[in-house]
Structures are given as C-alpha cells and as structure tokens.
C-alpha cells in the first residue's frame, strides 16, 4: 500500500463498513472500519483499516462497567467472609470463657 511508504491525506474519515464493503474490501475485516486516503506523490486513492473513536469509547466503558461489577461482587464476598470469621472467633472466645 502506498500509505506505508508515502505521505497521505485522509479523504474520508473513519466510517463503519457497509455489508457490501465488508465483502469486497479486505481492509474492512480487521476492525470493521475503513478510511479513504489519497497518497501524496502517486495520487492514488486507497482504503486503510482504522479504529473508530466511538467504538473504542464503547468498548472502554463496557470494560470499566464489567470491572466495577466484578469488584462489587468480590467486595460483598469479602464482607460476608469477614462476618463468618468474626462469628467463629467470637464463638471460640465464648466457649473458652464458659470452660473456665
């Protein structure tokens, strides 16, 4: 591709590939998004795979939400486990006091 060896100008911003483009343009397959570029010296128009900022933001916030849910679940498990251990310790102390 000319954009690897030449300077280029983005002719069309990063957009989602249509179903027809996904079947006909190989650059659509890695990310599902392409941008049209024009190489400076050879003046050729080509397509380049790209990443959409909106898609990246969506994936990021999904990851953050998942991690918050997992953290909440484990925090609840820690609190429950601590209560069980506290009860066992109090029971042990009570039995030791009763045996005196």
pLDDT given at position 14 = 85
Task: Give the integer Cα–Cα distance in Å for 38 and 49.
Answer: 14
- Model pTM score: 0.57
**Whether the predicted pLDDT of 45 surpasses 90:** no
Cα of first residue to Cα of last residue in the chain, in angstroms, is 87
Mean pLDDT calculated for residue range 72-97: 96
**Whether the predicted pLDDT of 2 surpasses 90:** no
Mean pLDDT calculated for residue range 57-83: 96
Mean pLDDT calculated for residue range 13-28: 84
pLDDT given at position 8 = 80
């Amino acid at each position: 591709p000319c954009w690897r060896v030449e300077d280029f100008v983005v002719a069309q911003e990063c957009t989602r590939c249509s179903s027809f483009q996904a079947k006909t343009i190989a650059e659509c397959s890695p990310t599902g998004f392409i941008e049209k570029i024009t190489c400076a010296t050879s003046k050729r128009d080509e397509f380049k795979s790209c990443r959409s900022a909106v898609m990246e933001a969506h994936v990021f916030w999904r990851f953050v939400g998942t991690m918050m849910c997992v953290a909440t679940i484990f925090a609840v498990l820690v609190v429950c486990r601590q209560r069980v251990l506290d009860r066992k310790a109090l029971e042990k102390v009570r039995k030791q006091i009763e045996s005196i």
